[in-house]
Amino acid sequence: MNNKFKINSVAFLSIFIILISSLLSWGIIEVAKDILGLKKNEISSEVVIPKGSSTGKIASILKNNKIIKYPIVFKVYSKLTKVDNTYREGKYVLSSTMSYSDIIYYFQNMTAREDVVKVTIPEGYTVNQIASLLKEKGVCEKKQDFLDAINNEKYKSEALDQVEDNKLICFKSEGYLFPDTYEFILKDKPKHLIEIMTQNFDKKVLGELRQDIDKSELSLSEIITLASIVQKESTSADVMKKVSSVFFNRLNNPREYLRLESDVTILYIESDIKPNLEMKNQEMYDSYNTYVCKGLPVGPICNPGLDAIKSVLEPEDTDYYFFLTDINNDYYWATNFSQHNNNIYKASRLGAVKGLKTD
């Protein structure tokens, strides 16, 4: 073996040892950061722990919800601290900035906390209605704080990242606060509450319907906007598919049906937009009013549930261009204006008529 080869071997070995040491040091630091909840992007999530879950199962759930990075480390930590089998099942609101000890404390004590309240956000509720409900339940101290946070904060949400910034959208997160039952902490920060709901949207909608969304000719924003109208115009999942078909038929035939003409968009302007604007904004009103704007409005008019979103992804195949409901919420469908007028006459004999009209 010549001296040159020996020198190269020693140099290579030295570099290899330094590299391994660096990797080990980096790994130790990363694991420590995960254990202590330090220097990680803040992500809030509602985590569900099923009854009888093992520590390994819980660690996987935490990893899937991006609360921890290293499930095997959590398992070892749990065993070494002798807290295995002490965790309670249930729903927990957790953050990626929590340490392992904080997470374990939540699993052991959160369900007994007196400052936690269960809140159900109904399908079709608007941002304005959600803000009022959270104020009523004591989750938010001021309704306006929640509304201000909607437009003035930046949220970590895959769905919201796909929504274009448009000055005519009244509430930026409208449509993406997923309707569900949550456990919120009383007097929590509005930003934290909004992140929980938008990240739940990411998990429930993008997680379950991603393939269908990717196949759709509509963008995510357009899907949610149309779903919000369908949600407000419908009384059941079966009806939603027909209502969705009516709007798709109009969108696909713009020469005859330039506008969607849905009354619920006007109701949204009057009940949710106008009361929350300091100054009149006719351009914004017109961008939501489907009797004025062409095609879809500028953004969602409520927060739709999964059934409404699914109805947009898989509408029923019909020839209907009109619908209305009578006082008993029975639906009347029509393929042309003459048939629609006949339906108006039939429905009006029972009382007030609601539904899709035309100029």
Q: Is residue 173 part of a domain?
A: yes
Question: 94: which strand partners?
Answer: 45
155/100 same-domain check = no
356 residue type, one letter: L
Report the distance separating Cα 259 and Cα 296, nearest Å.
8
Q: What are phi and psi of 195, to 5 degrees?
A: -65, -40
Q: Where is the domain boundary, 87, 112, 137?
A: 112
Residue 103's pLDDT band (cuts 50, 70, 90): confident
Return d(Cα 59, Cα 35) in angstroms, integer: 12
d(CA 99, CA 122): 33
Alpha-carbon distance of 254 to 237, in angstroms, equals 26
The reply to whether 264 falls in a domain is: yes
Structure tokens at 296: 């879809």
Which residue would you say has higher pLDDT here, 102 or 132? 132
Structural domain of 261 = 233-355
Q: How far is residue 349 from each of residues 31, 76, 235, 346, 353, measured CA to CA in Å?
A: 71, 72, 21, 6, 9
User: Would you state the pLDDT for residue 2?
Assistant: 55
* Pair 104, 195 in one domain: no
Amino acid, res. 298: V
Question: Sign of the CA dihedral 84, 89, 95, 98?
Answer: negative
Among 61, 95, 112, which residue terminates a domain?
A: 112
**Does 287 map to a domain?**
yes
Residues 121 and 67 in one domain: no
Q: Which two structure tokens, joined as six digits, stand for 154?
A: 């930046």
**116 pLDDT exceeds 60?**
yes
Same domain for 146 and 107, yes or no, is no
Answer whether residue 86 is part of any domain. yes
- Does 195 lie in the same domain as 99? no
203 pLDDT more than 80:
yes
Domains of the chain: total: 3
161 and 256 inside one domain:
no
pLDDT category of residue 357 using cuts at 50, 70 and 90: very low
Range of lowest pLDDT (111-125, 235-249, 260-274, 292-306): 111-125
Q: Are residues 263 and 303 in the same domain?
A: yes
Inside any domain, residue 311: yes
Does one domain contain both 145 and 181? yes
- Residue 8 is assigned to a structural domain of this protein: no
**pLDDT over threshold 90, residue 282:** yes
* Contact call for residues 264 and 301 (beta carbons, < 8 A): yes
Mean pLDDT, range 43-54, rounded to an integer: 84
Per-residue pLDDT at 358: 39
Residues 71, 73: Cα–Cα separation, whole Å: 5
| pLDDT tens digit sequence for 129-163 | 999 999 999 999 899 999 999 988 888 788 998 88
Same domain for 107 and 94, yes or no, is yes
Q: Are residues 305 and 264 in the same domain?
A: yes
Token pair of 196, please? 């929980």
Residue 163 lies in a domain: yes
Enter the pTM of the model.
0.73
251 & 340 share domain? yes
Q: How much of the chain exceeds pLDDT 70, in percent? A: 87
Query: Is the same domain home to 350 and 242?
Result: yes
22-36 pLDDT, tens digit each: 556 655 778 787 888
Domain containing residue 59: CATH number: 3.30.1490.480
Q: What's residue 290's pLDDT?
A: 97
276 with 147: CB under 8 angstroms?
A: yes
> For the chain, what is the radius of gyration of the CA atoms?
26
Task: Point out which residues pair with 324 in neighbouring strands.
Answer: 332, 355
The verdict on residue 21 lying in a domain is no
Compute the mean pLDDT over every residue in the chain, rounded to the nearest whole number. Answer: 87
pLDDT band at 5; cut points 50, 70, 90? very low
Query: Are 103 and 94 in contact, with CB atoms under 8 Å apart?
Result: yes
Q: pLDDT at residue 106 above 90?
A: no
CA distance 173 to 286: 20
Q: Are 190 and 146 in contact (CB under 8 A)?
A: yes
- Full 3-state SS string of the chain: CCHHHHHHHHHHHHHHHHHHHHHHHHHHHHHHHHHHCCCCCCCEEEEEECCCCCHHHHHHHHHHCCCCCCHHHHHHHHHHCCCCCCCCCEEEEEECCCCHHHHHHHHHHHHHCCCEEEEECCCCCCHHHHHHHHHHCCCCCCHHHHHHHHHHCCCCCHHHHCCCCCCCCCCCCCCCCCCCEEEEECCCCHHHHHHHHHHHHHHHHHHHHHHHHHHCCCCHHHHHHHHHHHHHHCCCHHHHHHHHHHHHHHHCCCCCCCECCCHHHHHHHHHHHHHHCCCCCHHHHHHHCCCCCCECCCCCCCCCCHHHHHHHHCCCCCCCCEEEECCCCCEEEECCHHHHHHHHHHHHCCCCCEECCCC
pLDDT surpasses 60 at 114? yes
